[in-house]
Amino acid sequence: MKRSLFITLFSIIIVMVIAIFFSRALFLKNEKISLDAEGDFYTSDNVRIHYWYYNRDTSIVTIFLHGGPGSSSSDVRKTGQAERYADTFGSMLVFDQRGGGESERSAEVLTGKISLNRFVKDIDELRAAVIPEHDVVIFGRSFGGLLAARYANSNPQNVRGYILAAPGQFSSNNDLLEKQRDALVLSVGEEKMQEVAAQDRAVILQLHQEMGDPEKRLDEETDMGSEDDIDVGSALIASGDYYAHEEFSLLPAFNNVPTLVAYGSYDTQVPPLAIEAMKPYMPEASFVELPGGHGAAYTHEAEFFQTVKAWWDVSITPKR
C-alpha cells in the first residue's frame, strides 16, 4: 500500500517537473518578443509563429488575419499596405498562420495540430504575449474573414470591432457558390471580368515592385513551400471542424460588436451574391462594395481606407 502510494506521488512530481520545464522553455523562447519589429512567438503546443508588429503607440491594435488557408501575410506587407494602415489607423500586428509563410510549416511538427479551433487559440496566445494590455480590431481577409468569424464566436475579450475584406466561404455548398459565380459573369460579361482581373493583378504587381519586391509574379497566389510542408487545406478538412458550423450560423456573433464588410463588385471567389446572402444574419454590420475583384482592398486601397476611416470614426474612436 505504502509502495503504491509512493509510486503515485513520485509520478505526480515527475509530471509536474516536466510541465514546469516546458512552460519555462516556452517562456524563454517568448521572452525576447520585439514590440517594434518582427520576431517569433511559440504557442502553447510549441509551434513557431512569425509576426510583424507595426507599433504606433496606440491603445488599439489591429490584428490582420491573412487569406489561404496555408498562404501568408506577404501581400499586406510587401505591397506596403501594413505600413500605410498603421500610419492611418494605429498599430498593426501581422502574423503568418501556422502552416504558412514564415511560420512553422513542417508536416512532421504540425501533423495533428491544424484546426480552426487551434488557429483561434493562436490569436489569443499571440495577443497575450505581444499586446496583452491592448484592445484590438480584427481585420480578416478572405479565409481570414472565416477565421475572424470563428474568433468572434469564441467570446474574445476587448475586441472593439471587425473588418472583413472579401470574407470567405461560410458554407460547404459549392453548387450554390458556382451559381453565384455564374450569375456574376452573366451580369457583367466575361470580357469585363477578364479586364478587371488583369487590372487588379497589375496593380498588385506594381505595389510589390514599388516596395522593392521585383520577383513577385502575376500568377503567384501563395508562397511556395517544400515537399515536407503540411497541406493546410487538407489538414483543416481532416480536422473535422472546418465546416462544423454550416451555412451562416457563425455570422450573428458580429452583431455584438461594430463590423465592416468590404467586398469587390467583380469578385469570383466571394461573389456579391454570396455577400448579399450574409446580410440577413448581420443586420448591424456595415457593407461596402468596392470596384474590384477578390483583392479589392489592395487594388482600390484609397477607397478602402476611406471606407474604413468613416466606419472607424463612428464605431471605434468613441469607446462604447
- pLDDT class of 46 with cuts at 50, 70, 90: very high
Q: Are 46 and 129 in contact (CB under 8 A)?
A: no
DSSP letter at 37?
A: S
Backbone angles phi, psi at 208, to 5 degrees: -60, -45
pLDDT given at position 210? 62
Q: Are 26 and 14 in contact (CB under 8 A)?
A: no
- So what's the architecture of 32-315 in CATH? 3-Layer(aba) Sandwich (3.40)
Number of H helices, E strands in the chain: 12, 8
With CA atoms as reference, report the closest residue to 124 among 146, 93, 99, 170. Answer: 93
Residue 192 has pLDDT above 70, yes or no: yes
With CA atoms as reference, report the closest residue to 35 among 59, 61, 53. Answer: 53
- Percent over 90 (pLDDT), the chain: 54
Instruction: Identify the burial level of 6 via C-beta atoms within 10 angstroms of its C-beta, where 0-12 means exposed, 13-18 middle and 19 or more buried.
Output: exposed
CA distance 274 to 52: 32
The pTM score is 0.84
With CA atoms as reference, report the closest residue to 231 among 320, 99, 77, 130. Answer: 99
Q: Are 233 and 97 in contact (CB under 8 A)?
A: no
Residue 10 has pLDDT above 70, yes or no: no
When the pLDDT of each residue in the chain is averaged and rounded to a whole number, the result is 83
CA distance 287 to 305: 14
In SS3 terms, 125-146 reads as HHHHHHCCCCEEEEEEECHHHH
**136-145, 159-168, 205-214, 274-283: segment of lowest average pLDDT:** 205-214
- pLDDT class of 205 with cuts at 50, 70, 90: confident
With CA atoms as reference, report the closest residue to 131 among 225, 187, 214, 59. Answer: 59
- Percentage helix, strand, coil, to 5, in the chain? 45, 15, 40
Residue 219 has pLDDT above 50, yes or no: no
pLDDT given at position 30? 55
- pLDDT class of 213 with cuts at 50, 70, 90: low
Q: Is the peptide bond before 283 cis (omega within 30 degrees of 0)?
A: no
Q: Are 269 and 137 in contact (CB under 8 A)?
A: no
Query: What would the pLDDT profile of 116-173 be if each residue is shown by its tens digit?
Result: 999 999 999 999 999 999 999 999 999 999 999 999 999 899 999 999 999 987 766 6
Across 23-32, 113-122, 204-213, the highest mean pLDDT is recorded for: 113-122
The DSSP line for 270-298 is S-HHHHHHHGGG-TTSEEEEESSSTTHHH
The residues, ordered by sequence, that sit 6+ positions from 44 with a Cβ below 8 Å of its Cβ are 26, 121, 125
pLDDT given at position 243? 66
- Percent over 70 (pLDDT), the chain: 77
Query: What would the pLDDT profile of 70-115 be if each residue is shown by its tens digit?
Result: 999 998 998 899 999 999 999 999 999 999 999 999 999 999 999 9
